[in-house]
Structure 1
Amino acid sequence: MRRPSVPPPPSTPPTPPFDAPAARRLRLALQMGPEHVAYGMQVSYGLPYITSDHVIAWERGITAPGKNELTALAGVLWCAPYELIGRPRTLREHRAARGLSAEDVARAVGLELLVYVRMEESGEWRGTERQSAVLAEVLELSLADLTTLTGLDGRLAGLLRGAVTTRWQAYVRPVNKMVPLNRRLLESTLQELHRYYQRQLAATRTWGAGGSATVEASRAGRDFLDRIVEHFWARLGSGNPDNTL
């Protein structure tokens, strides 16, 4: 007996990533309260259900406005809709930023729709190397975005911490295997990150224990290690040979 086929999940319009801090900043610049924003969306854009609670929830990142709500909110705040769209972080947000449906992406990378949707929901991309390459092309992902979406940030952070705290030369090959880059560019980047961290470390030794300058240098060093992946991509993107990170 033939088993009935399972229908694919309904496709929902993707929602662009919402920049909550930008919405609050723009509202305050106009000296408007949440109730004024809600009233403007009700009267000028025909959204009678919008209340100040909606506006507050959007600004706190609890919920995000839908497409029509985003357009109305931008109108009330006298800005373009793109000014309220944040940088995509998740697979779903990257897809939304490109205006693609789940079916579009699943078909392009060669996955069943249900399998792809589950990856979006779990936040774990488990495609093959070839599928990852197609995904990067379809969603116009940077190497940094692809590394994050494929779950390699943690491993990359471990390698980079090793490079800045010990001999950076030993980490060129493993880092390059994970993120294919021009070798000379990678070497100069790792060397610069290593120098920066070692200067922070030397400062704590020079100033001695207990002083405020020592504490500040130590805190800066810890923060640098915590955000090492961010510094790595920023340094690669700057193309700047100086010591500023």
Structure 2
Amino acid sequence: MHPPLPFNARAARFLREKLGMAHGHVAYGMRASYGMNHITPEHVAAWERGTALPTSDELAALAGALWCGPGELMGRPRTLHEHRLARGLPAEDVARAVGLRVDDYLHIEETGRWTGDQRQSAALGEVLALPPQDFVAITGLEDELTRLLTEAVSTRWQAHVRAIAKHLGMDKRDLKETLRAMHQEYQTLITATLSRAGGSTASGEDGRRYLEGIVERFWEGLGKD
């Protein structure tokens, strides 16, 4: 069972009004062109009010009726299923691109657990144009990224740039400033902790909290560069 889609009601209303269409026009377009015979003007109005959410098929049909891509009617995609819908790709196309049977791919979408190998993961990232942050989360690489980042801020960050870049499929030059800043932040925390504790401990609550949120801090740091 997929979670509710991140539907952008404001965008749907804006696009409809920009096209000069009433709720009835949109509903008719969905029925006539996409076989959504159950759709009424009340459905469209409820989606725009935020009192109801379209299903995956309804969202795709709504996008077609509004002459836009499904991604324009969605909030930020969070799951593999949502990324595929945002790109407007059939499951068959994604399954073929990554070398899986359609049933196996749909099972992965349903469970939210990616089981592909490194080659398949790379193909998935390419076909869905996944941003690095979403690629890591969807393909289950976040635990390893946490380990690498923890080592980078705890020891010599320079020694971990290559491994992190390879893990994310990114250019090393795009990571250096963020890793340097994170290393400095963490070491400053540890130094302050040691000073308060009289040198009796090598970590503290502030340091633990920093490491617990290290992946989020990393993405935030990249976004600022």
Q: Give the TM-score range, shorter chain.
A: 0.5 to 0.7
CA RMSD, 1 decimal? 4.1
TM score, norm. by length of structure 2? 0.63
Change (3 A) 1:112 1:191: same
Change (3 A) 1:182 1:114: same
Q: State the AA in 1 paired with 2:79.
A: T
Aligned to 2:217: 231
Q: State the AA in 1 paired with 2:59.
A: K
Change (3 A) 1:92 1:68: closer
1:175 aligns with 2:161: no
Aligned to 2:188: 199
What pairs up with 1:1-245 in 2 under 5 angstroms? Answer: 17-18=5-6, 46=40, 48=42, 66-67=58-59, 85-206=74-195, 208=196, 218-219=205-206, 221-239=207-225
1:92 CA displacement: 0.6
Contact 1:17/1:85 (8 A) holds in 2: yes
Q: State the AA in 2 paired with 1:236.
A: L
Q: State the AA in 2 paired with 1:17.
A: L
CA distance in structure 1 between the partners assigned to 2:176 and 2:60 by the alignment: 47
| Number of residue pairs the alignment of both structures matches | 189
The one-character-per-residue Cα deviations of 1:173-218 (angstroms, maximum 9, x if unpaired) are 4323322333343333222111012223334445x36xxxxxxx95
The one-character-per-residue Cα deviations of 1:153-183 (angstroms, maximum 9, x if unpaired) are 0111122122212332343343233223333
1:107 CA displacement: 2.1
Change (3 A) 1:16 1:122: closer
Change (3 A) 1:51 1:235: closer
1:222 CA displacement: 4.0
CA distance in structure 2 between the partners assigned to 1:188 and 1:153 by the alignment: 20
Contact 1:102/1:113 (8 A) holds in 2: yes
CA distance in structure 2 between the partners assigned to 1:165 and 1:56 by the alignment: 48
CA distance in structure 2 between the partners assigned to 1:49 and 1:180 by the alignment: 43
CA distance in structure 2 between the partners assigned to 1:102 and 1:145 by the alignment: 18
1:49 CA displacement: 7.3
TM score, norm. by length of structure 1? 0.59
CA distance in structure 2 between the partners assigned to 1:18 and 1:198 by the alignment: 39
Change (3 A) 1:55 1:185: closer
CA distance in structure 2 between the partners assigned to 1:130 and 1:194 by the alignment: 32
The one-character-per-residue Cα deviations of 1:125-147 (angstroms, maximum 9, x if unpaired) are 22233332222221111222222
Q: State the AA in 2 paired with 1:126.
A: T
